[in-house]
Amino acid sequence: MVRNALILCCAVTLTLFSCAGRQGDERVLVMGRGGDSVGLDPALEDDGESFKVCDNLYDTLVQYRQESTDLEPGLAESWESSPDGLTWTFHLRGGVKFHDGTEFNADAVVFSLRRQYDEGHPAHKVEGAFKYWKAMSMSDIVKEVRAQDARTVVIELKQPNAPFLSNLAMNFCAVVSPTAVMKHGKDYFKNPCGTGPFRFKGWIKDDRIALERNPDHWRGAPKLDRLIFRCIPDNTVRLLELKKGTIDGMDNLIPDFLPEIQKDPNLQFMSQPGMNVGYLAMNMDRPPFDRVQVRRAVNHAVHRQALVDNLFQGLAVPAKNPIPPVMWGYNDDAPGYAYDPDRARALLAEAGLPNGFETELWAMSSPRPYMPQPLKIAQAIQADLSAVGVRARIVTWEWGTYLNKVENGDHPMALLGWIGDNGDPDNFLYVLLDKTGAMSRPSQNIAFYRSDELHEVLVEARQVGDHARRTALYRKAQEIVGRDAPWAPLVHTTQTAAFRKRVRGFHLHPTGSFHFFGTEIVNP
């Protein structure tokens, strides 16, 4: 009797097991990632996993071109600024609807932006903060946002600010449905509603987010029926799922996986230079780093190519400037500092330190996108430095503490990096190297580099509208920074992703955005 029951159980179970699997005709793309989104209100979040999903739910007034940080029309068909650069007028696209059926218009744009700074706005009080509005100092730039008529929005600035237009292309300036925000209130971040090519369908926390196509999107209907973001924390397991075909794509590849992916005939590997920099900052408030010869010596001592070859497995390029080559304004003519230990020793002697000196090299303990193995990198640099007589002891802290301390200038030399936000050189150079940042602590200018010459160049570049003039100014800025050497720029890491061969039409973007609008699945 027991035996019969057991056989019956097995039979039933096996039958049930065979029923699972994917539905036949639907074009579904499953994207695997290491962590879940935090929230889907683009103005409240600041993590990449939230933005990846928001990229597909929302549109912005202006948007980045494919694979570039140049701007093209988005929800605004055209725009112009007044001669003094203080008034920007945007002409909005007509006939666009939000996913909840409500009309997209100037009031919606004003709502989306005003709620982030206007304390009296009904949607201003939220749990959490409008982090990017603050991080990009938008309240110092923007005076007022108002609707001139149903299809015209006017934004007035407090001072001319050229990067401002690039900021509008970022996720935090995406246009949200005012009706949905007012309806859901504090729960809006789990009930997102935008104008994007995909609509929100459901979210099981730490498991998956499901989106479905918006056939009425103003660019046309996307080629996918559904887009699912699955959370698979372990890197190896994620790769196994990709190889099996139960997910269609994954990003943030570990270099060790590359050979496996490249020899698999069902997978395609994608890479693109990232909009980031990893650097070694020298605290100019702490001797001997106040002497330029010492800083230049350090630059000559570090073997960047070896770092790239051994610790990044080729998924990076050596850096000579603070901004990456993928950005407009990159000064490729800058000489940089060649690997030359002899020259380094000579410079140290010039600085009155023929026997080198003792110091500390600070490194964070957690991997960062621009530096996946910070302690190993620190060890490699330590070896390079000791070859020229600089004896550095490695000091490490856990991430939160590390940031705290380096921003307070407790370090002589520290590793850090930056991931660009808006594709504008100002976002790197002004934030990280301008003297205003170094006037007080904590500071994001952790070299505490104060150059009046650089300051003048950067301020003018912020305010002038002409693109050619800005490019020339940023090229000059890179010459100044190169000459003064507050940093030893190390690497720019490459973004990577792997997809099944059946996925076509996906392109990585320098900002790290994941747009699936033009992507399709081609069945073999």
Q: Are the C-beta atoms of 432 and 279 separated by less than 8 Å? A: no
Strand extents, DSSP E, 93-204:
142-149, 152-157, 198-204
Work out whether 448 is an interface residue with another protein (CB under 8 A): no
Q: Are the C-beta atoms of 427 and 420 separated by less than 8 Å? A: yes
The first and second tokens of residue 288, run together, are 């001997």
Selected binder of another protein within 123, 317, 416, 498 (CB under 8 A): 416
The first and second tokens of residue 66, run together, are 């494919």
Selected binder of another protein within 1, 3, 22, 25 (CB under 8 A): 22
Work out whether 140 is an interface residue with another protein (CB under 8 A): no
HSE value, Cβ hemisphere, 13 Å, CA-based, for 130: 23
The first and second tokens of residue 26, run together, are 């639907």
Q: At closest approach, how far in Å is the CB of 396 from another protein?
A: 13
The secondary structure of 168-190, three-state, reads HCCHHHCCCCHHHHHHHHHHHHH
Work out whether 254 is an interface residue with another protein (CB under 8 A): no
Nearer to another protein (CB atom), residue 186 or residue 467: 186
Selected binder of another protein within 208, 286, 291, 455 (CB under 8 A): 208
Q: At closest approach, how far in Å is the CB of 342 from another protein?
A: 35
Give me the phi and psi of 50, to 5 degrees please.
-70, -40
Give me the phi and psi of 242, to 5 degrees please.
-65, -45
Q: At closest approach, how far in Å is the CB of 190 from another protein?
A: 8
Nearer to another protein (CB atom), residue 19 or residue 468: 19
Selected binder of another protein within 207, 256, 456, 466 (CB under 8 A): 207
Nearer to another protein (CB atom), residue 134 or residue 476: 134
d(CA 514, CA 41) in angstroms, rounded, equals 16
Q: Indicate the burial class of 464 (C-beta count within 10 angstroms; 0-12, 13-18, 19 or more).
A: middle
Nearer to another protein (CB atom), residue 47 or residue 460: 47
Within 27-66, the residues that bind another protein by CB under 8 A are 28, 30, 35, 38-39, 46
Work out whether 15 is an interface residue with another protein (CB under 8 A): yes
Which of 241-252 are b and which e, b meaning 16 or more Cβ less than 10 Å from the residue's Cβ?
bbbeeebbbbbe
Segment interacting with another protein (CB under 8 A) among 24-32, 71-79, 291-299, 491-499 = 24-32
Work out whether 17 is an interface residue with another protein (CB under 8 A): yes
Question: Residues near 459 by Cβ (< 8 Å), separated by ≥ 6?
Answer: none
Work out whether 252 is an interface residue with another protein (CB under 8 A): no
Selected binder of another protein within 82, 148, 305, 404 (CB under 8 A): 404
Instruction: Single out the residue of 327, 330, 333, 305 nearest to residue 318, CA to CA.
Output: 305
Segment interacting with another protein (CB under 8 A) among 169-177, 231-239, 318-326, 346-354 = 231-239
Cα angle 122-123-125, degrees, rounded to a multiple of 5: 95
State the CB neighbour count (10 A cutoff) for residue 516: 24
Centroid of chain to Cα 387:
35
Residue 152's beta-bridge partner residues? 91, 149
Q: At closest approach, how far in Å is the CB of 124 from another protein?
A: 13
Please identify which residue in the block is written with the tokens 């069945």.
Answer: 523
Work out whether 440 is an interface residue with another protein (CB under 8 A): yes
Work out whether 206 is an interface residue with another protein (CB under 8 A): yes
Within 359-398, the residues that bind another protein by CB under 8 A are 398
Q: At closest approach, how far in Å is the CB of 387 from another protein?
A: 30
Instruction: Single out the residue of 382, 371, 452 nearest to residue 413, CA to CA.
Output: 382
Q: At closest approach, how far in Å is the CB of 150 from another protein?
A: 33
Q: At closest approach, how far in Å is the CB of 402 from another protein?
A: 9
Q: At closest approach, how far in Å is the CB of 514 from another protein?
A: 17
d(CA 498, CA 239) in angstroms, rounded, equals 9
**Binding string, 477-516, against another protein, x = CB under 8 A?**
----------------------------------------
Work out whether 305 is an interface residue with another protein (CB under 8 A): no
CA dihedral 277, 46, 441, 166 (to 10 degrees): 60
Work out whether 400 is an interface residue with another protein (CB under 8 A): yes
CA dihedral sign, ordered 30, 33, 37, 42: negative
Within 91-130, the residues that bind another protein by CB under 8 A are 126-129
Q: What is the largest CA-CA distance in the chain?
A: 94
Work out whether 523 is an interface residue with another protein (CB under 8 A): no
Which residues lie near another protein (CB under 8 A)?
13, 15-23, 26, 28, 30, 35, 38-39, 46, 126-129, 131, 134-135, 186, 189-190, 202, 204-208, 228, 230-234, 236-237, 240-241, 243-244, 246, 398-401, 403-404, 407, 416-419, 440-442, 444
